[in-house]
Amino acid sequence: MVTEAECLFCKIAAGEIPAKIVHETERTVAFRDVNPQAPTHVLVIPKGHYPNAAALAAADDGLADEVFKAAHAVAEQEGIAESGYRLVFNTGPGAGQTVFHVHGHVLGGRGLTWPPG
């Protein structure tokens, strides 16, 4: 179990590890994925530590709403809001979650197939 003190995305949110930040609000930050899977691949996170989307939703303080709004703002900024983009929250190891600080992947800029693998 990764503690908050060891959490990679907490460190990015705190500016302790560099990242290419593309959008920021008081409680959210969005940065480019280090291993992009599409021309636009941005990760949107709350600055506070929640291990996954379920924990964020349970926080019930409007923060999940802010993360969703930030994701759409990123899509607008990246010019993919009209053509279409995917917002994905891998939740749990079986879904491919590898970093246990909730993050929404904003993917776009190419055709995206459905269903995903």
Is 41 among the residues known to form the active site?
A: no
Residue 43 tokens read as: 């990760």
Considering the complex, state which of residue 20 and residue 61 has its C-beta at the smaller distance from ligand 5GP.
20
Catalytic residue from among 23, 41, 103, 105: 103
Binding mask 6-35 for ligand 5GP (x = CB under 6 A): --x----------x-----------xxxxx
Calpha distance 56→21 (Å, rounded)? 21
Smallest separation (angstroms) from ligand 5GP to the CB of 91: 9
Q: Which of 76, 5, 91 is nearest to 42 (CA)?
A: 76
CA distance readout (Å), 20 to 17, 23, 44, 81, 91: 10, 9, 12, 20, 24
Smallest separation (angstroms) from Zn ion to the CB of 59: 13
Q: Does 49 bind Zn ion (CB under 5 A)?
A: yes
What phi-psi label fits residue 60: left (phi over 0), alpha (psi between -120 and 50 degrees) or beta?
left
Question: Any idea which residues carry the catalytic annotation?
Answer: 103
Q: Give me the residues that bind ligand 5GP (CB under 6 A), please.
A: 8, 19, 31-35, 43, 90, 96-99
